[in-house]
Structure 1
Amino acid sequence: MPGKGFWGEGMELFRELFGCCPDALEEIKALPLRWDEERFSFWLKQDFPFVEALYRFQVGLLKEAPHPHRAPLVQALMATVEELDWLLSQGADPREPVHPVRQEYIALLQEMEGLSYPYRLVFFYFLNRLFLEAWNAHVEGDGPWQELAEHWSAPEFQAVLFDLEVMAQGQVEGLDPGVLEHYLARILEMEKKTWSLLL
């Protein structure tokens, strides 16, 4: 499991975006989650439809990406494909009913697909970093999540996150603060609901 401060490099934009909702991440980190293998397995399998929707969101980003953004976005897309493969190997079934919380998050992704490229890139970076911040706070020790933790802590994935931050930083200037705040708050709300499935 990554130690404290593992995500401390290259987080200037992440902290800046939290100006809209300074206490929201701490609320997510403070959730009194209950960890057991059966509960985590259900939560993990229910992640598959969301990651599948995130794959489609990324494909849309890649279609509109300026040339300098394409290689990092391709790498991020491949990481998502690998994650989908891993979830299937853990027993995820695409035919299973999707939990209402996951449906709501998927609907938010689909709504955000209607925004322009700069907004979508910033929100894609934010939700990835936010999830990993929450993961680092909650998931400790050995367990069925260890392989996934190792996947996300790999240097290659960290390099992708760093590139996403740099790219997103270049898009923030000129964006409507009201639109940013609206969707950042909704992403935070959905992350809290998603982690709350483990309460």
Structure 2
Amino acid sequence: MLGLDLLKEVPGLLEEIKALPLRLDEERFRFWLQQDYPFVEALYRYQVGLLLEAPQAHRAPLVQALMATVEELDWLLLQGASPSAPVHPVRAGYIALLEEMGRLPYAYRVVFFYFLNGLFLEAWAHHVPEEGPWAELSQHWFAPEFQAVLYDLEVLARGLWEDLDPEVVRTYLRRILEAEKATWSLLL
């Protein structure tokens, strides 16, 4: 799913995420959703920054991704997420990483945006049953429209990949994976 063989740059970390023994009870789910809101809000700002620098050919896929993020924020609010709720340190750390990545050159930011979306969906598909309280969100993320957005992001990332410094890529991929693992660990 992740394309670009990005995971070969950081072997083993996705398997660690998939091996987490999560407990998906409703109380933990609600807490996790509440903690997802500030991260998705930060992701929205990250995407706006991408759009400000995007060449014309990149704008349509990035606008579609941004719309999916806006829809996710709306859905989280409908689930009871509060924009003013305290942010867990794990999520604050991931938000800080997004803000740091937002200062990188455009090409890195696009590749990392694609990667973190694909990584999240890979972990989600592994951990979350298709039925139950998470079904509506699964349907949103795995809908053909969002899969098309992810494909378009992969095309953009592939077009930018060759010019990136492999060490910078490895460093940030590792940090993204570690932040994802910490986030999923909130469901232990």
Q: TM-score, normalised by structure 2?
A: 0.98
SS in 1 for 2:38: helix
Distance 1:127 1:153 in 2: 15
What is the CA distance between 1:44 and its match in structure 2? 0.8
Q: Does 1:154 align with 2:143?
A: yes
* 1:104-139 superposed Cα distances (whole Å, 9 cap, x missing partner): 000000001110000000000000000000000000
Partner of 1:172: 161
Distance 1:141 1:157 in 2: 17
Q: Does 1:127 align with 2:116?
A: yes
* 1:89-115 superposed Cα distances (whole Å, 9 cap, x missing partner): 000001110000000000000001110
- Percent identity between matched residues is 72
Distance 2:125 2:22 in 1: 13
Partner of 2:82: 93
What is the CA distance between 1:143 and its match in structure 2? 1.7
Unaligned runs of 5+ residues in structure 2 are none
Q: What amino acid maps onto 2:45 in structure 1?
A: R
Unaligned runs of 5+ residues in structure 1 are 1-6
Partner of 1:72: 61
What is the CA distance between 1:61 and its match in structure 2? 0.2
Partner of 1:186: 175
Distance 2:135 2:97 in 1: 29
Partner of 2:31: 42
Distance 1:146 1:187 in 2: 25
Q: TM-score, normalised by structure 1?
A: 0.93
Distance 1:20 1:70 in 2: 28
